[in-house]
Amino acid sequence: MNVWIFQTGEPLQSDSSNTRSMRSIALSNALLQQNHKVVVWSSAFYHQNKTHRVKRYTCLQLSDNYQIRLIPSMGYNKNIGLARILDHIQLAINLRQALSIEKDIPDVAFIGYPPIEFAFVASSWLLKRHVPFVVDVKDQWPEIFIRPFPNILKPIMKLFFYPYFLCGRRVILNATSVSSITKTFLSWACNFAERQLNKNDKVFPLSSLPGSCNKIVKNDISKFWNKNGVKKNKLTRFFFVGTFSSVFDFKTIRKAAETAKKNNLKFQFVLCGDGETLKDVKNDFSLLDNVVFPGWINQPQMRFLADISDAALAPYFNHSDFLMSVPNKVTDYLSFGSPIITPLKGEVKKIILKYSVGLTYKESDANSLLKVLLKVHYDKKNCSLMSKNAKNLYLNKYNGEIIYENMIKHLEKIRNK
């Protein structure tokens, strides 16, 4: 089966030190393991690091069955702003130009949504050539564009963004199949596009592929954490791993960490990763010696950290798209058997309550968070039970190997329609 995957912003391939590939690339790897042919169309500009992989159209032949085609664009420095809009428009124009001279035609395609412009060009090209395709919806674009504005301005902004609404609806409406990460998100996508939900539309939860490391690597990892002041000891340890951005509320964690220090609680907070708000967050925590910032860590380092920690932090703000989803960070924590501490309501809270895999606190309420941290500190037995529940939930519902196997079966199914 010849499969084309259209995605932007993700790492292009996993390596032995980091098995946390994003959705499209994890799917690519699973397809390759079954000897399918895969062509990935992606952006030359890497969203996460805000860097250009290459400056011109580039075709990377990684193996006989695996090819990556990089489409150039101007790039941008901030996630929100005119530069990003212009970048996505240019990216779509360049994709259209590349596709216009393409002679090969895939058996089936998988389109990551958003960005809207990129998905629109890809879906239009596939539709004209009668190629079945899945549109995988993971964000509420373009509705999230107008949410920050006051109610009085929203009708005007919706008119301004009308082309995005039109293109977004057509992408979803014309898809052979729509997939998403939860039932709630799938329903939103179909309602947004005024599409009748049908048997071809599926839910595939976000998940990562499991990883492992040998004894030698574990010794190196232990040394890494020792250098950062993170050791297996009697401290009650809470950790976060991710991209520091405006979707996370670290101020509430800082207030709780301050109170913990004042009361001589043996807590340690390990906040890992990088991102556009990291500098500001580190400055906010600068006077607290119970907080550690190790920087970006790989998957084996993360697994080791989870093993010597008591619980994981997922301090999302309750934005509507997070209320409707189960973020990849949450399923990663589940795979490590880490109890989850979060203010999220919606789908994540339902899971936490149903399966007893974590604790929730009130958003922006440091006292509420501190009470949860104290529960973890004083009730190790319940913490151990939540850890077991988390591992079982991951294996039964969020196991990446099973999810990507099901996605491949679904692509094979719609290909034959």
Given a contact cutoff of 8 angstroms between Cβ atoms, the answer to whether 131 and 106 are in contact is yes
The yes or no reply on domain 2-209+399-415 and CATH 3.40.50.2000 is yes
**In the chain, where are the structural domains located?**
2-209+399-415, 215-398
Encode pLDDT of 178-231 as tens digits. 999 999 999 999 999 999 999 999 999 988 665 555 544 566 888 899 889 898
| 72-96 burial: b if 16+ Cβ within 10 Å, else e | bbebbeeeeeeebbebbebbbebbb
Is the per-residue pLDDT at 338 higher than 90?
Answer: yes
Is the per-residue pLDDT at 20 higher than 70?
Answer: no
Confidence (pLDDT) at 80: 78
Q: Long-range CB contacts (< 8 A, 24+ apart) of 123-132?
A: 123/170, 123/171, 123/174, 123/175, 125/96, 125/99, 127/174, 129/105, 131/105, 131/106, 131/107, 132/108, 132/176, 132/177, 132/414, 132/415, 132/417
Percent of the chain whose pLDDT exceeds 70: 94
Overall average pLDDT of the 233-251 stretch: 93
Confidence (pLDDT) at 51: 85
Given a contact cutoff of 8 angstroms between Cβ atoms, the answer to whether 106 and 129 are in contact is no
To the nearest whole number, what is the mean pLDDT of the chain? Answer: 91
**CA-wise closest residue to 167 among 142, 185, 145, 187:** 142
The yes or no reply on domain 215-398 and CATH 3.40.50.720 is no
**CA-wise closest residue to 327 among 344, 339, 306:** 344
Confidence (pLDDT) at 210: 58
Overall average pLDDT of the 377-396 stretch: 95
CATH fold match for the domains 2-209+399-415 and 215-398: yes
Tokens representing residue 91 in the block: 């990216």
DSSP strand E in 234-357: where?
A: 236-241, 267-272, 291-295, 311-313, 340-342
**């301090």: which residue's tokens?**
315
What is the Cα–Cα distance from 194 to 173, expressed in whole angstroms?
7
Confidence (pLDDT) at 81: 83
Confidence (pLDDT) at 46: 85
Residue 210 phi, psi (nearest 5): -65, 150
Q: Provide the pLDDT confidence category of residue 15 given band limits of 50, 70 and 90.
A: very low
Encode pLDDT of 340-353 as tens digits. 999 999 999 999 99
Is the per-residue pLDDT at 13 higher than 70?
Answer: no
Please report the DSSP string for 393-406 in residue order: HIIIII-HHHHHHH
Question: pTM value?
Answer: 0.84
Tokens representing residue 163 in the block: 């082309």
Tokens representing residue 176 in the block: 């052979």
Residue 256 corresponds to which amino acid? A
Encode pLDDT of 39-85 as tens digits. 999 999 987 778 888 889 999 999 999 999 999 999 888 877 888 99
Confidence (pLDDT) at 320: 87
**Residue 17 in 3-state DSSP?**
coil
Overall average pLDDT of the 314-319 stretch: 95
What is the Cα–Cα distance from 31 to 89, expressed in whole angstroms?
30
Percent of the chain whose pLDDT exceeds 90: 74
